[in-house]
Amino acid sequence: MDSPEGATIRSEQKFRKFLKSLVRKQPRDLLLVIGTGVSAAVAPGIPALCSWRSCIEAVLGAAEQLEVLHPGDVAEFRNKVKKERDLLVVAHDLIRKMSPRTGDTKPNFFQDCLMEVFDNLEQHIQNPVVLQSILRLMERGTMVLTTNYDNLLEIFGQQQGKPMESLDLKDKDKVLQWARGHVKYGVLHIHGLYTDPCGMVLDPSGYKDVTQDPEVMEVLQNLYRTKSFLFLGCGETLRDQIFQALFLYTVKNKVDLEHYMLVLKENEDHFFKLQADMLLHGIKVVSYGDCFQQFPEYVQDLTAQICKQRSPDAERVDSTTPLGTSCVDCAKRKLGESGTDSPKRIKGSDNDITTLQ
């Protein structure tokens, strides 16, 4: 039975308005940017997924247990986590401390600590609603990139039978294929993946081959100019040095663009100031509610609204697919070739009910 709190959240969500400029977007015109908030909603039992602060604290705990960092250094970094506002700087310093003195990122103990922290991720997926929504959009052409080290989306997608691929910026050919829309279920990890033996990257200098490659940069920046980025669970992303290097520094006339960011509205003054500031980057800030528990259902409802939009290519859907067959059946009904039955409801793989008209 639903708790009173859960019922209240659902009631508030039910009557929530969505920006028409967002819900009228075709899925293929969107690019999702996934931050730690998504992982926190999906696997709340792993504190390291909840925020950069929690992640660094968990890594320090693992480093202490594995004895791969001097106790004095552990204490120093714990003190930095408490005082430093820019936690990405702390994380970057921690990676360097646990890497060879040559400055190379491989091999390093930071990866071992992350593997310890993220062990058996698939067993910790408790609330897959957001992941279901993301997959539903990906099925319709939405692209996905993430600042997260974890691969929760890929794990869940594979469980649903999707050919998921984890990509990083060091594989130029794959990045170009992804950016051109040829890797339907590809997830680009701009910081790398915790399972990658090449290690993780937080500083643009780790991707000099990418940032100095005009072909790659033009294709990536063209995404920021031509797609609508939708930031999900992102708190620090716009201050992220790699994201800035890839998309913000060299893209001109950002105020003319139309991107979106879902945020928690804890404080009205802060929220409306953020709205005004982000418009300078071409980003519309939207509140999903005043408590984090509202985030998953908001994303689910927003996805349902976006997926209601009929694609201009709907008539060209392959009739051999379940969706294609349904569209053909709908067309036949309109032509009177299959009687006068009302449109049927089709249950999708993401457990949502969609009425095809």
Say what the pLDDT of residue 15 is. 60
Structure confidence by residue, pLDDT tens digits, 19-30: 999 999 999 999
Asked whether residue 100 carries a pLDDT value surpassing 80, the answer given is no
For the chain, give the mean pLDDT.
Answer: 80
Strands 345-347 and 30-34, by their bridges, are unpaired
Asked whether residue 340 carries a pLDDT value surpassing 70, the answer given is no
Comparison of pLDDT for 185 and 248, the residue scoring more: 185
Q: Is the whole-model pTM more than 0.75?
A: yes
Instruction: State both tokens at 324.
Output: 């294609």
Strands 353-355 and 345-347, by their bridges, are antiparallel
Helices (H) and strands (E) in the chain, counts: 16, 9
pLDDT, average across residues 127-154: 95
Asked whether residue 133 carries a pLDDT value surpassing 80, the answer given is yes
3-state secondary structure 12-75: HHHCCCCCHHHHCCCHHHEEEEECHHHHHHHCCCCHHHCCHHHHHHHHHHHHHHHCCCCHHHHH
Structure confidence by residue, pLDDT tens digits, 184-230: 999 999 888 888 756 566 666 666 777 788 898 889 989 999 999 99
Of all residues in the chain, the percent with pLDDT exceeding 70 is 76
User: What region, left, alpha or beta, does residue 325 occupy, with left being phi > 0 and alpha being psi -120 to 50 degrees?
Assistant: alpha
User: What region, left, alpha or beta, does residue 36 occupy, with left being phi > 0 and alpha being psi -120 to 50 degrees?
Assistant: alpha
Helix (H, G, I), strand (E, B) or coil at 145: strand
User: What region, left, alpha or beta, does residue 282 occupy, with left being phi > 0 and alpha being psi -120 to 50 degrees?
Assistant: left
Which H or E run contains 110? helix 109-117
Say what the pLDDT of residue 42 is. 95
Of all residues in the chain, the percent with pLDDT exceeding 90 is 45
d(CA 154, CA 311): 26
Structure confidence by residue, pLDDT tens digits, 49-79: 887 788 889 999 999 999 999 999 999 999 9
Contact 107, 198 (CB under 8 A): no
Q: CA-based angle 347:350:353, to the nearest 5?
A: 35
Say what the pLDDT of residue 345 is. 38
Residue 48: which pLDDT band, with cuts at 50, 70 and 90? Answer: confident
d(CA 279, CA 285): 8
